[in-house]
Each structure stands twice: as structure tokens, then as C-alpha cells.
Amino acid sequence: MAGFTYSTLTTAIANYTEVGTSVLSSTITDQFIDNSELRIFRDVPIDADRKEMVGNLVASKDNIHAPAGALFVRGLQVYTSTSAATGANSWLEKKDISYLREYDAAETTTGTPKYYAMSDSGATGIGGASSGRITIVPTPSSAFMYKIHYNARPLGLSSANTTSYLSLNFGNGLLYACLVEAFSYLKGPMDMLQLYEQKYQTEVQKFGAEQIGRRRRDDYTDGEPRISVNVQSP
């Protein structure tokens, strides 16, 4: 199935459901699209959404905010430099917040950070309420440079943003997810709801195999994939 634009996707939703705009207004179908995009982002970590952010820790402060719009943090580097993200650096180990509090029960140990954990909503600062706060231990003894590797939610499909990575590269999955939303909203028919849920599940498995499988390996380092073929003896 070819990719979609915002216009062709909303038209497809109307055609598949056979329901006009008097029932499925643009406000409603926009919500279908938004819900479906968020579902896909949570089902499959997409390479196109990988981002990096560089900043400086604050001496004697044991936390930073996740970047605005971050869906999840994939890794955190801390550099020995305070002015450029180059040279010696270390990757912090991700732990649960309980591990960090046991490691530094008095919360007074300072030095070069070794561990980090997602801790709370981070209601203020760079990340805002939706991105979360990152707690680090030991508490930094200097304004070390850091780099956060994360996946961010991209700008969604809309009348103002007529194409997206999902609409062009995973159009069938996006459509099926929208139809699940649509038939849930219309309260049936249940067989159509189940049909498009099954179609979505099938397509998202293929998309996941591409995003977290084929795109993250190469023949030189991993070798060519081998598929076992069962052959019955004569």
C-alpha cells in the first residue's frame, strides 16, 4: 500500500467506514490519527525518531530534565569536559531509583556520575510535565558536559503537516490503527473492529522487524541472516 498524505488518509478512513463528515468530523478523525500515531510510537521504537541533546550538569545538583517531547531515554553519556562533547566520556548505567537511593543513602556523595534513573514527572524546566526527570549519582562535582540519547515524538500528521515518516513509510499500519479507533468510536461492527486490529497487529510485527531488526544490523558485523528450512527425508 502506498503512503498517505493527511488528505488521502482522512478520505480512506471515510471510505473504509462508509461514514460521512456529519458523523466523523475532521476533529474526530484528527483524534483517531493522533491516538494511532502514539500507539505505534509505543509499539515500535522508530529509528527516525532518535535524537540527541547536549547540555551541562549543574554542580551539586543530582538531576536534570529529559528533553521536551522525549518518549523514552535510550542512554546518557557524561564527558570529562565542561565545554565540548568530545574526548573522554562514560556511559551511565541505568538503574531503578531505589538502587540510586541505596547507593547514596545520605545523598551527599559527589564526583563523576555513574548511574541514572527516571524519577518523576519533572513538572518544571526543560522537559516539562510530560518528559520526566533524570536523577544521577554520584551528584556531579562539576558542570560536566552530558549527552542524552532519546526517542522523541515527532510532529504528527495534520492539515498543517500533511506527511510524516509514518504516513509515508508505514501507511497501511497507520490506516489500520485509525480504523480500529474509528470502529471503536462507531461501536461496531465488531467483526470489522477485530479484522482491522488483526491487520494492524500483522503489519506492526513486520514494521518492528524492520525497525529493530534489519535496520540495526549489517552483513559485515552480523553476517547474512540464515533461515532454517525444514526438508522432509524421502
Domain end marker among 124, 152, 180:
152
pLDDT per residue over 4-34, tens digit each?
Answer: 999 999 999 999 999 988 999 999 999 999 9
- Identify whether 29 is part of a domain: yes
- Identify whether 234 is part of a domain: no
Number of domains into which the chain is organized: 2
The enclosing H or E element of 32 equals helix 26-43
Domain co-membership, 34 together with 81: no
Strand order in the sheet with 70-79: 50-56, 145-152, 70-79, 89-91
pLDDT per residue over 118-134, tens digit each?
Answer: 987 655 544 445 578 89
> Can you give the pTM of this predicted structure?
0.80
Domain co-membership, 167 together with 78: no
- Identify whether 77 is part of a domain: yes
Domain end marker among 120, 152, 184:
152
User: What confidence score (pLDDT) does residue 213 get?
Assistant: 83
Report helix, strand or coil for 185.
helix
Domain co-membership, 34 together with 57: no
Domain co-membership, 99 together with 130: yes
- Determine the structural domain holding residue 148 and report its residue range: 49-152
User: What are the grid coordinates assigned to 171, written together?
Assistant: 501507511
Domain co-membership, 93 together with 175: no
Domain co-membership, 67 together with 141: yes
Domain co-membership, 112 together with 123: yes
Domain co-membership, 146 together with 53: yes
Mean pLDDT computed over every residue of the chain: 88
Percentage of the chain lying above the pLDDT 90 cut:
68
Domain co-membership, 60 together with 147: yes
For strands 93-94 and 110-111, give the pairing.
unpaired
Domain co-membership, 54 together with 130: yes
Domain end marker among 152, 181, 207:
152
- Identify whether 68 is part of a domain: yes
- Identify whether 223 is part of a domain: no
